[in-house]
A and B are shown apart, each in its own frame.
Chain A
């Protein structure tokens, strides 16, 4: 009999988080080795339509558990429901995307079922009945092969952009097991949401343009006379530089990143920070502007497919990880680059 493989479909306000489809393709890899298919698990309120989407994306069937008490994601009641489904279905492997919600969910379900949990896997291999996950540790300075041999299910969250995102095929069909859930009421109350700083979605971005300390390094810029404080003048200069970064990012549909040095200097909010104590990213293209390449920054972006470095210092360590390098002033290069991309991409 095929080992039961389930995938969790994460969603927010009725929309599936795209990384869920990547988790589905990761789960398919595992299920394929067990000669079976993947069952999608969807928990929420009014989420049945998401089951059809999951089947279109490749799940063979779906389990839907709904309750008005599950309208807002809270880890506790969601974990109650997910743990019960995993027990009932005898799941051997449970794969999730990695988001703020699913990390908590995976953690709690592992406690309920007294099993192991692996987060942010970038590769999965089946050895006998166990799934060996490869995951970055020390912010990607090393990779650990991690396995939960004795206990079941094996719970694994996969890193965003590590597995392919399958295209939907609406002609696919599959059985949907939909039922009402009755979780314990959550002790916590969601009071509301507030839009995040600049709506940065770095981990999901396929292109990132990042700025570092060097972004403020332009003596030709004269701050307005009302800014007399030297530190504020530096921040004002940096903001002009980040404006050039934003223009290039807008042209490329890219997210804006930053080094820790730029964040600590007050140039840009922390939500943009890439690196060991920021976000770990792996885009197709990473353009580093005025970033020297401290080890903590490299740890957060070195798995990017192609890295372009723009820096005035030809000795900057960032050039050691870059595929393309430009030694020059970002204040000259960035506007020219934005212009060139606009013309080439017809924007």
Chain B
């Protein structure tokens, strides 16, 4: 099977993210493979282990995003491609989905394209479905379990995590699949994997390579703000016994009309 996994580099979730002069900054915090995408890489590798083939990791981002791709390679992906072009720096999801759809077409005969559910920086969670729409492939988002892949019958069965429960869906291949955490713990890179990744050649594709001429984003961010500071004066509730403390808290919650 020919499997792709689309990943993004993001700041670590432990980072303190702030705004300085209107720009987002995370100080010295490390940039990592988007935590949701680790699950996508894991599922891509499992699909390969079950059915053979290869896994190609694809990322749109700055040159430094190479490091996120190296992490994907160290986990076990076979190849990686970085899409980097100054004209794509302000990409919104409309642009990012056009770029990734073009990259998946250029990779040729992809059977499955995996995504994480969203990126922990922009938190949009729409790119996978948009790529699927552009390619005309079925979109299977919020997948909690890949139940079966039938490379001969060209189908995939998955369970999707919806608010109302798990939805069981069958779709023909090729398909776009975005995964959630329930699919299982991502593996750690192996020692051999890390060595291989450090020596890997990661080709760079430009917008022109993908036949795109500086696509214009539809959405812009006129401002990024720190959330309003909440008044967080903490009132400590004390008392002689747990019952005493509990009653005081209940009274205070009722006084403040919280309940």
Contacts and interface: CB of A to CB of B under 8 A. Distances in A.
B159 A194 contact: yes
A68 to B, nearest CB: 19
Most buried by B among A107, A120, A195: A107
A306 B141 contact: no
Interface string B131-157: 011100011111000000000000001
A139 interface: yes
Contact of A191 (B125, B169, B252): B169
**SS of A interface (majority):** mixed
B245 A101 contact: no
B94 interface: yes
A142 interface: yes
A250 interface: no
Contacts of B160: 100
Given A110-B94, A328-B242, A145 B130 contact: no
Given A114-B94, A324-B252, A100 B165 contact: no
Given A115-B218, A276-B120, A141 B246 contact: no
Interface residues of B, number: 84
Interface string A322-343: 1111111000110111011100
Contacts of A273: 181
Interface string B237-259: 11001110111011011101011
A106 interface: yes
Interface residues of A, number: 97
B213 interface: no
A339 B234 contact: no
Nearest to B180: A270
Interface stretch (A85-93, A146-154, A168-176): A146-154
19 contacts: A75-B139, A100-B161, A104-B129, A119-B124, A136-B227, A144-B224, A147-B220, A149-B220, A188-B140, A193-B164, A194-B165, A196-B162, A285-B253, A295-B16, A296-B13, A320-B234, A326-B245, A335-B242, A340-B243
Interface of B: 11, 13-19, 24, 35-36, 92-94, 97, 120-130, 132-134, 138-142, 157, 159-172, 181-182, 217-227, 230, 232-238, 241-243, 245-247, 249-250, 252-254, 256, 258-259
